[in-house]
Amino acid sequence: MFVWRMADLLIRKPDDWHIHLRDGAALKLTVPQAARQFGRVIAMPNLRPPVDSIEAARDYRTRILDALPSEYRNRFHPITPLYLTDRITPSVIEEAVKTDYIKAVKLYPAGATTNSESGVADLAPFYDVFEAMQKHRMPLLIHGEVTDMQVDVFDRERVFVERQLHPLRERFPELPMVLEHVSSKEGVRFVEIHERHTAATITVHHMLLTRNDIFQGGLQPHHFCLPVVKTEEDRQAVRAAAFSGKPCFFAGTDSAPHARHKKESACGSAGIYTAHAAVELYAEIFDEEGMLDRLEAFLSEYGARFYGLELGQEKVRLVRTPWTVPDSYDMGGDELIPFRAGRSVSFRLEEDR
């Protein structure tokens, strides 16, 4: 097995195929941190109101670029997918494929996660949209959880795979689909079975945490996300998928900024913020398993190929230099607690000069 022991590692600048930048004042924090880490990002459309028109996607992309520091101009490329609502029709898909900033449509089950109130309760009314997407090879990005209150929260991805994904794949065999932030062994297995036209994004936190971490030493709201982190068996399945070298698995952080007072509250906002150190954390995980030789493909190649995009040419360097994550960041006057706040990360990301 290849074991990496050198001082640093030079790789293509990674892409993040699933990130939440939010909007407004939050962009002043999230956009610069994402641009430092990634060359391209898919910025999730679950805003209020949702990004469910070509004009809304264009305008959101403009707001993201307006928050971009000057040193990243023309080096950071946000993709703004459409949020699947009843405003999305086959004719919208026909127009969307002509743009250079809409590469996908995002499916949120209604009520499944943050700002998903406008999501989908029944897939059948959207079959004509999926047909148009299949025709143009436009990916459907799926938050794969049922919202049935009779289903245990830790089983909601598994049940979604059984009830929704298998029938959807059978009906639309060539529709590109991404099971976002895959978190269960059943989700991993579904992607492996259907890997020709199916992929999954994998987060840092689903590779590092189990449900024990939510309750260790008392309730830990900053480890609460949706889909919720699950068992050790599920974590190991997700890690094995990331290390597998299969191009159907690639990086998507699902980094999600929430103010501290919203996380530490009765509502318990779902989301973990990792954009400040995502690439370093992925490197740390791959290093633990002696898999650094597979890191660049996972971070910088497989996703681009799935979306039919050219590989990035910019390089970044990962240096084995420990640093301490700040206790918090200012987010438009609110305090944000990042993942691993106050603790060490063993790699530091640097631009290649």
212 Cβ partners below 8 Å, 6+ apart? Answer: none
Strand 334-336 with 329-331, pairing: antiparallel
Q: Residue 49, preceding bond cis, omega within 30 degrees? A: yes
- Distance in angstroms (rounded) separating the CA atoms of residues 181 and 56: 25
DSSP classification of residue 6:
S
Residue 141 CA from chain centroid, whole number? 10
- Tell me whether residue 254 is annotated as binding: yes
Q: Judge whether 338 and 276 are in contact, CB under 8 Å.
A: yes
Angle among Cα 123, 111, 95 to the nearest 5 degrees reads 50
CA triple 346-14-339, angle to 5 deg: 45
> Of the residues 8, 254, 293, 330, which is catalytic?
254
Q: Distance between alpha carbon 104 and the CA centroid of its chain, in Å?
A: 13
Catalytic (active site) residue 52: no
Cα–Cα dist 161/234, whole Å: 14
Contact between 192 and 186 under an 8 Å Cβ cutoff? The reply is: no
Residue 106 annotated as binding? yes
349 marked as part of a ligand binding site: no
How buried is 64 (Cβ within 10 angstroms: 0-12 exposed, 13-18 middle, 19+ buried)? Answer: buried
Find where tokens 């079975």 sit: 193
Query: How far apart, in whole angstroms, are the C-alpha atoms of residue 353 and residue 350?
Result: 9
* Residue 317 assigned to a binding site: no
d(CA 21, CA 43): 6
Q: Is 115 annotated as a binding residue?
A: no
Task: Provide the sign of the torsion angle of the four alpha carbons 278, 280, 283, 285, taken in this order.
Answer: negative
21 is in an annotated binding site: yes
Residue 20 annotated as lining a ligand binding site: yes
Residue 226, marked binder: yes
For residues 123 and 165, the answer to whether their CB atoms sit within 8 Å is: no
Catalytic residue numbers, as ranges:
254
Q: Which residues are annotated as a binding site?
A: 18, 20-22, 46, 106, 143, 181, 226, 254, 258, 270
Q: Which residues are annotated as a binding site for substrate?
A: 20-22, 46, 143, 226, 258, 270
Q: Which residues are annotated as a binding site for Zn(2+)?
A: 18, 20, 106, 143, 181, 254
